[in-house]
Structure 1
Amino acid sequence: MKNFLTIILLTFACYAYAGKPGKIFKDWPSSASPEVVGDLLSQRFVEVPHPNFNGNPAPPNEITYPETCAWFGALRYAQVRKDSRLLSLLENRFLPIFGPERYLQPKPDHVDHTVFGCIPLQLYLQTNNKIYYHMGMWYADEQWKMPRNTKHKAEYQALLDKNLSWQTRYWIDDMFMISCIQVQAYLVTKDRKYIDRAAAEMVTYLNKIQRPNGLFYHAEDAPFFWGRGNGWMAAGMTELLSSLPQDNPNYSRIMESYRKMMKTLQEYQKEDGLWGQLIDDKTSWSETSGSAMFTYALIKGVKKGWLDEDSFGPTARKAWIALVGQLDEKGDLAGVCEGTNKNNDRNFYLNRKTLPGNMHGQAPMLWCATALLEK
């Protein structure tokens, strides 16, 4: 009975605003207010020590990409809220990296490590402190520069000759990691080369790995539409399109792929408002990190006018309310799939553990709160 009532409330909350331009992301239930949720999530981020990738008890040996993505989200949330106190707390979390926590700074030797540069670049955009500029741009530039002492020089040079990053590997999460830092470099420098090369990289990935229905297999030898993997692609296209000049020759191609993906996602949204661990299987368990990434992409698409508000607005609204219902009083999101490598076994995906409060889920929830508040 409780689940039935929840579905009824979700449906009413969504469709009460259909057909009212500009209203779909307003008049939230108090618990779903993006300010209330964003404040809770950002405070939770500040108070949690640097975590390991999957919440292991041992101290981390570097900042992992899930934390980077949550940190980046909290910084943008502070900006949209004009919250100088939160910005100070987030900066104070970073400053020890110049001293006693220097060992936690990742090297730009892998796509998952290089995305760390988006934190200092975002700090520079908000503080104008040049030390952040130089650190962040080092990461962005290294992504397109032959690494020293590599055993793969011929392989990497072949990629660079095509204006692709040497970190190209055609994994679906790459397209958030690469897009994020290169877009930030473009916003900082106004140099088109950064976003133009990110767009060219995106099209190469789309041509190679997007399926006819707009979704993505985890890998060619893992033919499953895994939720969070697809979430990285949805968020990556969204991140890129949000700043990509429309005169870029790849703009239309990326927008076409984005819209195709959003249409298919809309079809697979479950009654509870979320998406399954395997997207095309509505009987698979509801996974929140991928769902939050899809919600972010939908919110931005509706607000930017890329998607029809009457059609996609209720989908995004229903998803956001459902996600908020998965937060506990501390601000930890339930139902987050643990770190997952590719596997050619359907049950491997269905049997993954969930990790409440894992940064894979905290990050896109912060992105969503920010997107809802942006003008």
Structure 2
Amino acid sequence: MKSTILKICILFMSMQTYAQNGIWHDLPTYADPKIIGEKLVKNFLSSDYRHFDEIKGEPPYIVYPETCTWLGALVFSEKTNNKALLRVLEKRFFPLLGKRKELMQKPNHVDNTVFGVIPLRLYMLTENPLYYHIGIDFADRQWQLPKSSASDSVKHRAFLDRGLSWQTRFWIDDMYMITAIQSHAYLATKERKYIDRAAYEMTVYLDSIQRPNGLFYHAKQAPFFWGRGNGWMAAGMTELLKNLPKDSEYYARILTSYQRMMHTLKLNTNKEGLWGQLVDEPTESWTETSGSAMFTYAMIVGVKEGWLKQAEYAPVVRKAWMAIMPYINDNGDLRDVCIGTNVGSTKEHYLNRRRLVGDFHGQAALLWCASALLTEKK
């Protein structure tokens, strides 16, 4: 009898251990986040600087999807303690200081200013002060009024007077771009002003554009829950909550909004376990992988940080990660990534968007997932 009870206890404990660690341990080899991450980084380094995938020719500067992929690769090198990989990723920055200096971004727009995360991350990994000064200038200038036309100056000053960045647009992708650069500035300097102003900005966005179900319209004139647009918000809240001190007056507000969004996302997976091009229409929409990877990333971190109930969300995460695997080809390119999408006036505008293979919008988000899965749960 005692032996039977002991066996039952051991079995129960093993089941508990699997439930706790199952999404990041005991994955099959083809879904091993380290192997997947290495393939994605190799893919990233195999090409020169790229324009948006739908635009031909040399890029005028480093565009934000490449910035986000580069950041994902740097984080992956850190999580795997791969110094050789870090040196290669750092070397990619050198031409921007000299012969390819025209590719260095300027902090003149919210999508361009996020580039500052690359020198700031390099500074934190190498302690080279050159990277610090380049990166912190990007973060500072996001809250410094630029020289511009009189009409723009009035609009920009109005945002600054409210404590917001002059780059404020109330577009859903802003809340990844702003929080990423300001969070990195906080991590590099330990000065609360950077993360505090990003957190305040986030609460203003949430009060302005989050819908009662926790999701976000692409725009007021586009009442559609576009996948990747919502993915940027999910990732932005995740990045902010990861780094925001819990004593912040904004922490609880942002956490509540994050949890509301995750709850609705959990209820709207398709039969694969992923998310559609229009999030609230999982049966009518085609599976869109960049948004799906962003949602998966947000949930991985949420389970690990204790923001989400493990028993409720860990199975969703594991199913999503496994479901993404068939969308990665042998070269490490993620397929079915929605092409860059401006605001549309009809549902068909979104459902008929072209699907790309290997687009950095998807490569970046998948790298974030791989690194998050490699990080031990707190």
Q: What TM-score do you get using the length of structure 1 for normalisation? A: 0.94
Partner SS state of residue 27, structure 1: coil
- CA shift, 1:337, in A, is 0.3
Contact 1:18–1:314, Cα closer than 8 Å, also in 2: no
> Which position in structure 1 is the counterpart of 2:227?
227
2:220 alignment partner AA: E
Matches within 5 A, 1:70-81: 70-81=69-80
Alpha-carbon shift at residue 133 of structure 1 (Å): 0.3
3-state SS of paired residue (1:20): helix
- Paired position in structure 2 for 1:5: none
Deviations 1:269-323 (A, max 9, x none): 1111210000011121000000000000000000111111111001011111111
What is the Cα deviation at residue 49 of structure 1?
1.6
Instruction: Give the AA of the match of 1:83.
Output: N
Report if aligned partners of 2:24, 2:374 keep a CA contact under 8 Å in 1. Answer: no
| Equivalent residue number for residue 300 of structure 2 | 299
- Residue 201 of structure 2 corresponds to which residue in structure 1? 201
Q: Deviations over 1:44-72 (max 9, x none)?
A: 11112211113433111110000000000
Q: Which residue does the alignment assign to 1:22? A: 21
RMSD, aligned α-carbons: 1.2
Residue of structure 2 in register with 1:11 after alignment:
none
Taking the aligned partners of 1:352 and 1:274, their CA distance within structure 2 comes to: 18
Larger radius of gyration: 2
* Whole-angstrom distance in 2 between the partners of 1:165 and 1:107: 16
Name the structure 2 match of 1:161. 161
Contact map agreement 2:334 2:357 (CA 8 A) in 1? yes
Distance in 1 separating the partners of 2:110 and 2:17: 40
Q: Structure 1 counterpart of 2:302, which letter?
A: G
Counterpart for residue 239 of structure 1: 239
Counterpart check, 1:180 vs 2:146 = no
Structure 1 unmatched runs, 5+: 1-15
User: AA paired with 2:36?
Assistant: V
Instruction: Provide the C-alpha distance between the structure 1 equivalents of 2:49 and 2:102, rounded to a whole number of angstroms.
Output: 12
Q: Deviations over 1:110-146 (max 9, x none)?
A: 0000000000000000000011000000000000000
Alpha-carbon distance between aligned partners in 1 of 2:245 and 2:126, rounded to the nearest angstrom: 25
Moved more, 145-154 or 59-68: 145-154
* Secondary structure in 2 matching 1:277: coil
Mind listing any 5+ residue stretches in structure 2 that lack a counterpart? 1-14
On the 8 A contact 1:231/1:290 being kept in 2, the answer is yes
Q: Which residue of 1 aligns with 2:276?
A: 276
Q: How far apart are the structure 1 equivalents of 2:276 and 2:20?
A: 29
- Partner Cα distance (1:48, 1:263) in 2: 38
TM-score using structure 2 length: 0.93
Contact 2:54 2:339 in 1 (8 A): no
Contact 2:288–2:336 under 8 Å retained in 1: yes
**Is the contact between residue 287 and residue 335 of structure 1 (CA under 8 Å) also seen in structure 2?**
yes
Q: Which moved more, 1:217-226 or 1:45-54?
A: 45-54
Q: Is the 8 A contact 1:70 1:359 kept in 2?
A: yes
My pick for the range that moved more, 154-163 or 115-124, is: 154-163
Aligned to 1:190: 190
How many residues in Structure 1 have an aligned counterpart in Structure 2? 360
How far apart, CA to CA, are the structure 2 residues paired with 1:58 and 1:150?
Answer: 31
Which secondary structure state, in structure 2, belongs to the residue aligned with residue 21 of structure 1? helix
Q: 1:342 to 1:299 in 2, by over 3 A?
A: same
| 2:107 matches 1:98 | no
What amino acid is the match of 2:267? Answer: E
Q: Is the 8 A contact 1:18 1:24 kept in 2?
A: no
